[in-house]
Structure 1
Amino acid sequence: MDSSGILSKRSWLVDAANRVLPAAWSAGMLPRPELDDALLLENARTKTGLSDFGDEWFRAPLKVLVAALREEADLNNLGRFGAAGQIAKMLRDRLWTQAWLSEQPEIGRRSLARPVFVVGPMRSGTTRLHRLLAADDRFAHMRMFEAIAPVPEPGRRPGRFDRRRLEARAILGAVHRFNPDTAIIHPTGPLQPEEELGLLVASFWGMKHEAQWNVPGYGAWSVGRDATPAYRHMALLLKLVGWMRGDDDRRPWVLKTPQHMLDLPALTKVFPDARIVFTHRDPQSVVASSSSLVWNQKIIHSDSVDPRTVGREWFDKTHLQIESMRAARRRIPESRRIDVNYEDVDADWQSVMRRIYRFLDMDMAPALPAMQAYVQRTHHSSRLKRHRYSLDAFGLDAGVVKDRFADYVEAFELGARPSPQPRPVRAVPGSTDWTPAAARSRIPARIAAARR
């Protein structure tokens, strides 16, 4: 397949912004972005007049991330401006969160009982299942504007007009102008159900950073670390979001983000009565679609993104997600988990949803009309333009991918039984010296020091 029609192309606006921003910095029209964690922390304190960031755990991932952005990411001007702005906003949000919790202690006492988590690899149908469940108004769910800006400015009150909706619309419009394919890969809107990844990013945690920037040092540092503090902060933000809406906290949340694949021990520790819907899809499609999504994001922030590097990274990242999930799910009681295959949802989504509702011990009938309306809307939009992707566009061999995931495919009945003597995993063409160990050996010294 010709990859020229598969790989996203960024808008001319990115190149224009890269030319204009240095002049704006020199003229003092915009602050020059500085990627220094100490300076970013001090600026956040100065601008807000606040000093309490909450649990200090976040400082370690922040330090490693900023070092990786500075030394590995090869950011262009727009990427540097965006990275510094995102970090500044997250630090401000942490300060505002603690201000809210101090002023309104009832927020911390809210219940988060019996949440439902949709957990699966990136691009395995988690969004579709999450939005089907979110159509049921017996569940609470994050909305896109809340995922972007979960913390309102201190002093606002529930029930009043929330300008975060307008801000989210403006941000989404800018994203679509700078890279139009984003609307095809992950269609959304300010009030649409959205994943809670932004609540984990508030602790500078999660593979969102790796999907946006080339920060392999940060990714290597993150592997195997206990994410419990990030999930505790996520729980506080969920309580704040529900309180700001005036929601009844007896209504369970329905949540999802692929990050949970890596962090199930932390998730089940913070949400001990969580019920989990695991999604599974043919790994060849997962790896190709994930690589396409990551490529689409990275080309905005850097001028030197290589599709083969993206493919190798998300081949390994998908494997890490799946192996981490399989190791952790054994400790989750069967009464609290259910498995769903992507192809089954494609073939008969109503049968799959009936099975999920039986697992949840709920009647599906009240939610069926809203679910049908969602399916009709998405069917119409997908007919207009579909997300196209392929393994070879990212230098990946289908046989290598199939062999590496053969055990997973067999365990969850995702395809025909593979050959009993699979071929050894070989390097992607053009990168014969690449291995995970070799990648780790190239982590810059200062990032390695931060890991210690």
Structure 2
Amino acid sequence: MFLKSMNGVRDLSFRSMESMLRRLTLSEVRTQDFDFEQVVDVASKAAGTTSGVPDEEWWKKLCRACQDKACSTDGRRLLHTKLIHSLSQRLAVEEAYRLNETDIEKEKIESPFVVMGLPRSNGHMITHVFARSGLFLCPRMQDTWSPSIVVEADRAKLFKTDSRRFERQNPNFACVRRLVGSMADDDLTLNLHIPQSFAWGLLHGLDEYLLQTIQEDQSAVFEYTKKVLKLFQWYRKFGHFSDCVKVEFNVLDNPIEVQRTGPKHVLSKLPWLIHSPLGILNAESLHKAFPDMNVIWTHRALASGISSLCSTLAIHNSLYTGKKPSETALAQIGEKVLGIFGSGTENAIDYFGNFDKSKMVHWSNRDANRHCTRLMMKTMEHFNLDIDRHRRMHGIEGQTEFSSLQRPLHDSNLQYFGLHEGVVHQVFDAYVHQFEEFAFEKRFGVTVQDYVSLGETPALPSLNRKQSRVDQFAEGQPAGGHFLSQH
């Protein structure tokens, strides 16, 4: 099913037997079905509410943009389904607030941890490992898909049904993301509930609509994310939002388990963990929504990170067009990524230049791949969070679980998108010089003086041995070439 060899971006023109049967049995989505009135009518019935539509003008623009999108038969049905689902969930969440606003607004989102950085920089893995430790509250895929459903078992059941159907119809989407309901999720699904979000234009190939949203303030996007987190925290009071821990150790206070793993500390309040792939494009709006946030900035070498991002957007777009993108389309994707994320990264660097450094850490892609759990311990130490051995074991299991999922390769070379390292270096010049030690851009001739990696092993004294009067060989020198050193 998954081909190892690639010619540019993976060809998604393959259609499963189920998708062919659905094409014969289901009626075709017409252009009139994207009319705003019909979309609102169907979404209101699904949400069970007759209240007005928030951001009505933007929803009208989005419906027109989806109407004009050139799609295949399956792609048009998928786009229509996502549009209906996003609007219905938005209406249902607003209805839940209308009925219980007094109680929900009492919930406070204090000092959340935000994982940000350029998309495709292993932020999802870091989020999952941190969430599995049990020290954070984090929305899972089954939660963000249908946040308006109160009962946790119903959310899991609905996501399992929808994701299984989607994976059978689009098997190659596993290149981008494996759909597992219990895994920690980012906020992109919640961003789709806000029509003026960048996510609609980027993930669905709505270029003209993307140009309109770029000029729009994104504060409403992150305010809505905060709103949904308050709703989840309210669910938790009734036992319908649990931690991202699969198997809880020491449930019955077994003395054998206590002897093996040590005591388990009781946590009075858990902070929220948010993965925001597009947060780097609107650092000010993100900070405005979460003024006391702690930031974990993830990095990846630009030569591989930019090509992976372009390839991912091409795969998303192919879901709706039903065919492999042309060379012109690939070049347009490369130009789009350079324009949006180049300027967004530069603005984020300027904004976080005045950010409290005690509330920010940096992770590289190599850190996450090689020693994610140990970096998690150092990050906890940096933020003065105590983690016992029980929760460290949960984090190790989360890293193993994330790495064991099959993810077929799909990244293409920069050349497929009309890019090369010189162009990327020119556009991301501020990023290269600011984060060379994390992104490993040494080919550009940038050197960092007196840099100590977060993942570097401290100098440990020899046990049961007196200090020698003679200096040892290479004493005080950095461990060059060691896998724990980034010099």
TM bracket (short chain): 0.7 to 0.9
5+ residue gaps, structure 1, are 421-452
Tell whether the 8 Å contact from 1:18 to 1:78 is kept in structure 2 after alignment. no
Show the counterpart of 1:296: 315
Residues 350/100 of structure 1: CA separation in 2 closer, same or farther (3 Å cut): closer
Cα gap change, 1:359 to 1:16, in 2 (>3 Å) = same
Cα 1:83–1:142 change in 2 (3 A) is same
Structure-2 residue corresponding to 1:408: 431
Query: Paired residues, what number?
Result: 406
Relative to structure 1, the CA distance from residue 381 to residue 46 in structure 2 (aligned partners, 3 Å threshold; closer, same or farther) is closer
Q: Deviations over 1:398-428 (max 9, x none)?
A: 33223332331121122216269xxxxxxxx
* 8 A contact 2:373–2:395 mirrored in 1: no
Cα deviation, 1:300-323, whole Å, max 9, x if unaligned, reads: 211463333333322333314312
Does 2:396 correspond to 1:372? yes
Alpha-carbon offset, residue 97 of structure 1: 1.5
Q: Is the 8 A contact 2:138 2:273 kept in 1?
A: yes
Q: Aligned in 2, Cα 1:17/1:251: closer, same or farther, shift over 3 Å?
A: same
Distance 1:77 1:274 in 2: 44
1:123 match: 120
Distance 1:173 1:395 in 2: 35
**Cα distance in 2 for residues equivalent to 1:397 and 1:173:** 38
1:448 corresponds to: none
RMSD between superposed Cα atoms in Å: 3.0
Asked if the contact 2:346–2:430 (Cα under 8 Å) also holds between the matched residues in 1, the reply is no
Q: Secondary structure, in 3 states, of the residue corresponding to 2:153? A: coil
Could you say which residue in structure 1 is the equivalent of 2:36? 37
* Counterpart residue identity of residue 172, structure 2: D
1:399 maps to which residue?
422
Q: 2:254 matched to which residue of 1?
A: none
Partner of 1:142 in structure 2?
Answer: 139
Aligned to 2:188: 197
More displaced, 83-92 or 312-321?
Answer: 312-321
Contact residue 134 and residue 193 of structure 1 kept, 8 A = yes
> More helix by proportion, 1 or 2?
1
Could you tell me whether the CA contact under 8 Å between 2:129 and 2:373 is conserved in 1? no
Deviation at 1:44, TM superposition (A): 3.2
Distance change (3 Å), C-alpha of 1:172 and 1:11: farther
Amino acid in the other structure paired with 1:162: A
1:343 CA drift (Å)? 2.5
Tell me, in whole angstroms, the C-alpha distance in 1 between the residues paired with 2:181 and 2:18.
27
- Structure 1 residues 101 and 369: CA distance shift in structure 2, 3 A: same
TM-superposed CA distance for 1:377, in Å, is: 3.0
Report 1:45-444 matches (<5 A): 45=44, 48=47, 50-53=49-52, 56=54, 58-71=55-68, 73-105=69-101, 106-152=103-149, 158=151, 162-246=153-237, 250-303=269-322, 305-306=325-326, 307-366=330-389, 367-381=391-405, 385-413=408-436, 414=439, 415-416=441-442, 418=444
What is the alpha-carbon distance in structure 2 between the residues aligned to residue 16 and residue 395 of structure 1?
36
Q: Are the aligned partners of 2:16 and 2:169 in contact in 1 as well (CA < 8 Å)?
A: yes
Q: Which runs of 5+ in 2 are unaligned?
A: 243-267, 447-487
Match of 1:7 among 6, 9, 25: 9
Name the SS for the 2:139 alignment partner.
coil
Please, what TM-score do these two structures have when normalized by structure 2?
Answer: 0.75
Q: Counterpart amino acid of 2:301? A: D
Partner Cα distance (1:385, 1:79) in 2 = 22
Q: Which entry has the higher C-alpha Rg, 1 or 2?
A: 2
Distance 1:400 1:234 in 2: 35
Q: Sort the Cα spacing of 1:151 and 1:53 in 2 relative to 1 into closer, same or farther, 3 A.
A: farther
1:75–1:302 Cα contact (<8 Å) kept? yes
For residues 405 and 81 of structure 1, what CA distance do their matches in structure 2 show?
A: 38
Could you report, residue by residue, the CA deviation over 1:108-157 in whole angstroms, capped at 9, with x for unpaired residues? 221211110001111011111111211121210111111111111xxx5x
Encode CA deviations 1:35-74: one digit per residue, 9 max, x unaligned. Answer: 22343224434565523357x3x33432332232223x31
SS of structure 2 residue aligned to 1:109: coil
Distance 1:3 1:250 in 2: 48
